[in-house]
Chains A and B, each alone.
Chain A
Amino acid sequence: VRSRAHTPGGAKVEFEIDFQKWYLSIMARSLADIPLGRAAKVTAVDGPRAFRRRLLEMGLVPGTEVRVVTIAPLGDPLRIEVRGGQWSIRKQEAAHIAVVT
């Protein structure tokens, strides 16, 4: 995929993107490993059936914007913001939620 972009200086550059690499680096990220504060969009929710249904019903459906607000002082769980509400979710569970930033 060839693409065009502007550098901060304003100069035009052309570059190539390895789609597979791009997909892996951008798409295949889970909520457990995105930086704090960065808004992301849910792409898929995985995990055991009842677990997944619960997350979906909370409104974590594909397309929903989600943000990790803070990590608990002991390193787990995460405090996430979804649809104007905040939830505490463990990292291993957040790993089931695929997102794009």
Chain B
Amino acid sequence: MTDDCCDVPEAAPARSGVPSIALAGNPNVGKTTLFNALTGASAKVSNYPGITVERRSGALKLPAGPAELHDLPGTYSLNARSAEEQIALDALVGLGGATAPDVVIVCLDATQLARSAYLLLQCRELGARCVGALTMVDEAGDAAPDARALGDLFGCEVVAVTARTRRGLDDLLRAVDRALRKERRADWKWTPSPALRADLDAVRAVLPTSWRAETRYGALPKAAATVALVPDLDDALALWALTCLEAGDDGDELVGVPAELRAAVVARIPVDRGRAIDEETVLARWTWLDRELERLVRAKTDRSRTERIDRVLLHRVAGFAVFLGIMTLLFMALFAGADPLVSLIDSGLKGLASHLRDLLGVGIFTDFLADGVIAGVGAVLVFLPQILMLFLFLGFLEDCGYLARVAYLMDRVMRSMNLHGRAFVPMLFGFACAVPAITATRTMERRRDRILTMMVVPLMTCSARLPVYTLVIGALIPAARMTQALLMVGMYAFSVVTSLVAAWVMSKTVKPLKAKRLPFVIELPPYRFPRTPDVLRMMWGKSSMFLREAGTVILACSIALWALLYFPRQLPAGSPDYAALVAKAPTDDAKAVVLAREQAAHLENSYGGRLGHAIEPAIEPLGFDWKIGVGIVGAFAAREVFVSTLGIVYAVGTDADAQSVPLRSALRDAKKTDGSKAYTPLVGLSLMIFFALAMQCMSTLAVVRRESGGLRWPAFLFAYMTVLAYIASFTVYQVGRLLGFA
């Protein structure tokens, strides 16, 4: 619960410029399609400040002139409990720094009329100038109500639209034009009871200036007669405060609510009274809706097609088979399908780098461009194919209604770890790469669910850990075939178990991640075939946002890391004169050996190398020496860099990969100063455990920062994973030694 009042400007928001139109509606009512049809290519995706709820806006051409259209998050009600749900209200009435829209278009789903009309009712109570857009008319068939009659009922124009064929769009815009000239008037279809009236009066008396209608809307035309019993604009916000503000452990998580308002509501309304207010309000609205809509909606919407599909897709055998099939396909596409594109990007950038070297000659600036900048750009771009594919598939599955079914099928498993049913897909993608997996957490509505998933996804065995495991297993684990294979499988199983257990533990111990008693109620919408432009537009919008916001951080970090492992260039006094040695080398092979040694010397002397030395005492109890320390520092760019860094340290060349025979034998033959083996199978196991648990991926941290909207959660993620990895490796190594494994 946050009591601090944010700096809401007390003055009326500037109402200059073009009219601002908001688009509101339930989820799954075709709001996005309508938004895209109305704004065309002008749509822009951004985030609401501080929270990852996407804000989309675009230009709108009204008959009277240009306007701006803002898409509100899909919601069933304006009552809120979390900061995310509050956005819809803030954006609708102009609170929290938002400007109140001049007109609100409310999507009304013809197949789910009562439920979507509930939202329209709330908007009318708040005094918004509303226009209804009746969607899904084709799908509703006979069940579709008459738009004009609906309009008469709600006291605002309602237009039937089919975004796909653009039918009704012009009528809708004309209706918006007309609505712009209407006055703002609260329209309540029910009369509060005397007790509620008294509560409303008490709360509106303490309504802060910034929340009053005069402030939010500027000077209002004084209504002819303010009849005391007819609720007005301020009553609507007072009612909102009465329903949503709650104290105690189970209280709301709303932000920007003025402290005096909260205090007044909490002092006046005990929990039981609050429940009575909820009941009176919600029941009054539904009673009115049920009574009035009964006359307009004569038939029931035919859901038989969806029912037939569900009979297969939710079947206990067939359903799981299809589910496994789709997930395997998705996973393969992400894991293997992106590979050709990734290697194309990789080889393209490598080619570019070597061209640059030829062009610019040897020097620090060349190294900076080739190894720092271009490698950094590569570090960002390699994610792009996966991210694009992920959003393409997710957008498709979400729009056709299948993701909700995945949550339904998997909820039982995920729930046992206090995770959301929808966390399954991100956790699965975690096997490929945590970066796209974390962006996939957006399919969950609640912040708590998203953050908890983000905190455990990086524990899954991502593809970057694979080269490390391959190298360690190949070099250090006895070659009895089954041991090696079993260990690899074991590492995968280990990651699944740790991530699930970590989710459970965190949901019990970390306060913001504790399970809230909110219903896990998700809609299973009718199956619909997604519109390609909608899916592609969403894919592009989200991917470009990833490049903009996470990409820049990843680029900056990889350049910084390059510098860490590159500078200083001056080798300490007493080092061999490598230039002379190269010149003296009789053959090309000998030359290469000397060059590799020079590189190794530079790396050891670099700040990163010194860091490796400095942390040696700390990592010694895990069985690691400074060379592994340097590898761990380098692995922060991406885990697989560990392999090539070790390749440089052991002077077997810069392009050593996990299969490299010289690197493997170098590791196997490495000796400590006392002549004993540096790396035993036990060290290998400890190292793999460390890599399984440690947070060594700046890209993941960058994307968590972006998705959680701050540094707090990436810092927590880094801290808990590193500590966990240290403790686990320490235990493995020390217990192993006690048991007599050297």
Contact = CB atoms under 8 A, between A and B. Distances in A.
A43 interface: no
Contacts of A48: 250, 517
Contacts of B282: 53, 56-57, 61
Contacts of A61: 282-283, 286-287
Interface in B127-144: none
A9 interface: no
Given A57-B79, A88-B404, A47 B411 contact: no
Contacts of B286: 56, 59, 61
Given A72-B314, A72-B408, A90-B415, A85 B112 contact: yes
Nearest to A73: B316
Interface string B261-284: 000000000010011001100110
A57 B76 CA distance: 8
Contacts of B97: none
B521 A59 contact: no
Contacts of B303: 84, 86
A6 to B, nearest CB: 31
A90 B279 CA distance: 22
A76 B415 contact: yes
Contacts of B525: 85
B524 A88 contact: yes
A88 B411 contact: yes
A60 B404 CA distance: 20
A43 to B, nearest CB: 13
Nearest to B275: A49
B188 to A, nearest CB: 17
A74 B278 CA distance: 34
Contacts of B407: 88
B671 interface: no
Interface string A52-90: 111111110110000000101111110100011111111
A72 B414 CA distance: 13
Interface string B499-539: 00000000000000000011111111100000000000000
A54 B412 contact: no
Given A59-B118, A72-B411, A79-B408, A49 B521 contact: no
A96 to B, nearest CB: 9
A31 B296 CA distance: 29
A51 B519 CA distance: 6
Contacts of B300: 84
A50 interface: yes
Given A72-B409, A73-B319, A90-B411, A58 B520 contact: no
B interface: dominant SS: helix
Nearest to B323: A73
Contacts of A57: 76-77, 79, 118, 282
A19 to B, nearest CB: 26
Contacts of A75: 412
A52 B319 contact: no
A48 B310 CA distance: 32
Contacts of A50: 81, 246, 250, 252, 517-518
B250 A72 contact: no
B735 to A, nearest CB: 37
Interface in A29-48: 47-48
A53 B79 contact: yes
A73 B118 contact: no
Contacts of B112: 83-85
A87 B524 contact: yes
A84 B700 CA distance: 42
A85 B140 CA distance: 12
Nearest to A57: B77
Contacts of B76: 57-58
Contacts of B411: 72, 74, 76-77, 88, 90
A100 to B, nearest CB: 18
Contacts of A85: 112, 115, 523, 525
A67 B522 CA distance: 16
Nearest to B282: A56
A87 B252 CA distance: 24
Nearest to A78: B408
Interface string B306-347: 000010001110011000000000000000000000000000
A68 to B, nearest CB: 13
B230 interface: no
Contacts of A77: 408, 411-412, 421, 520
Nearest to B306: A86
B520 A49 contact: no
Most buried by B among A53, A61, A70, A93: A53
| Interface-central residue, A59, A79, A88, A93, by most chain B CB under 10 Å | A88
Given A58-B521, A87-B524, A53 B243 contact: yes
Interface in B73-123: 76-77, 79, 81, 111-112, 114-115, 118
- Complex A-B, nearest 3 residue pairs according to Cβ-Cβ distance, in ascending order: A74-B412, A73-B316, A56-B282
Given A85-B525, A90-B411, 16 more contacts: A49-B250, A50-B252, A57-B118, A62-B283, A72-B408, A72-B409, A79-B314, A83-B112, A83-B114, A84-B300, A87-B523, A88-B404, A88-B408, A88-B520, A89-B520, A93-B519
22 contacts: A48-B250, A49-B271, A51-B518, A54-B77, A54-B519, A54-B521, A55-B521, A57-B118, A57-B282, A61-B286, A61-B287, A70-B314, A72-B408, A73-B315, A77-B411, A77-B412, A79-B524, A84-B112, A86-B523, A88-B520, A89-B519, A90-B519
